[in-house]
Amino acid sequence: MLGLQYFSFVELWSPMFFFAMSAVVILYYYLIGPWRLKTDSTAAPATRGQQTIFVVSAILFYLVQGGPLELLGHLMFTFHMVNMSIAYLIVPPLVLLAVPGFLWKQLFSKAYWNKLNWLMHPIMTLVLFNMLFSIYHIPAVHDYVMIHYGIHSLYYLVLLLTSFMMWWQVICPVPEWNRLTDMKKMAYVFANGVLLTPACALIIFAAEPMYATYSNPQIWVQAMGYCLSGDPSRLLESFSGPSFFNLLGAADDQQTGGIVMKLVQEFTYGCVLALIFKQWYRREHREDDLPNAEPV
């Protein structure tokens, strides 16, 4: 059970967050159903596949931000990196695939969004996400964010927003808003992998534990207050600290977390590259198959 048996149902499953995510799913079905028929009945409806992808992404996001995986992420660094991988490398592209283009048009077609166009420049989104992600994994920054709950929530929200901005360049749900060709998208994904590598390398090759959140009982118990009700210091009355729950030593746990992040990143980016290449290949061959308008 990885120590989860020592925590209450509310601490494990965060019912309020579950209801919030359920409300998001209900809103999604309302927007693609009754609301679409009222506002733009000619818009292409969401496919069954898109609906399934959205529900899966909502479940994944709930598990890593409010469910058992979120709690495990405060007990072991490996699970923390699993959660980061899912929340910022898997969920955003799934949501972009799942939400139909007409909804994005309704949301971002207003004139006042034009003032923020500079934020959506591909280089800007590339740098913003990878910079924020890398800064977060500087030990002093990470430990500070983990024990200051308001900053924790704000940083995670900004990181999620910038991850959507980054993935938008690759999986643009509105074709006419596409800024990158298929070849540039492949280069963009490759650049993302390169920029994310230093943070993973820092974690994987560190000889000693870098994060007090997972090695210092006093700091750990403060971080646990983010996902526990009541006084988290009570944990130290029963447990020695994070080492009680950790299946590995602190250094091994840290290295495993870095490896997990890198593997998930490589797998996700590899799948996206394959998808882009497939689209590019089909488009090129479809154009080659078109009849020549001029006689040879």
- The reply to whether 296 falls in a domain is no
Can you give the pLDDT at residue 291? 58
- The reply to whether 89 falls in a domain is yes
Indicate the range of 53-67, 93-107, 108-122 predicted with least confidence: 108-122
**pLDDT above 90 as % of the chain:** 55
- The reply to whether 135 falls in a domain is yes
- The reply to whether 31 falls in a domain is yes
The mean predicted confidence, pLDDT, of the chain is 89
H-only helix segments in the chain: 9-13, 15-32, 34-39, 48-65, 68-75, 77-85, 91-98, 101-108, 122-136, 139-147, 149-168, 182-204, 217-224, 235-238, 250-289
- The reply to whether 68 falls in a domain is yes
- The reply to whether 98 falls in a domain is yes
Residue 290 has pLDDT above 70, yes or no: no
Do residues 91 and 55 lie in contact, with contact meaning Cβ atoms separated by under 8 Å?
A: no
- The reply to whether 292 falls in a domain is no
Residue 288 has pLDDT above 60, yes or no: no
- The reply to whether 2 falls in a domain is no
Token pair of 142, please?
């990470």
CA angle at 157 for the pair 216 and 77, rounded to the nearest 5°: 30
Q: Which region, left, alpha or beta, applies to residue 292 given φ > 0 means left and ψ of -120 to 50 means alpha?
A: beta
Can you give the pLDDT at residue 207? 82
- Give the chain's domain count: 1
Domain with 96, as residue range(s), is: 9-286
pLDDT by residue (tens digit) across 30-89? 999 999 988 888 888 899 999 999 999 999 999 999 889 999 999 999 999 999 999 999
Average pLDDT (269-281) is 87
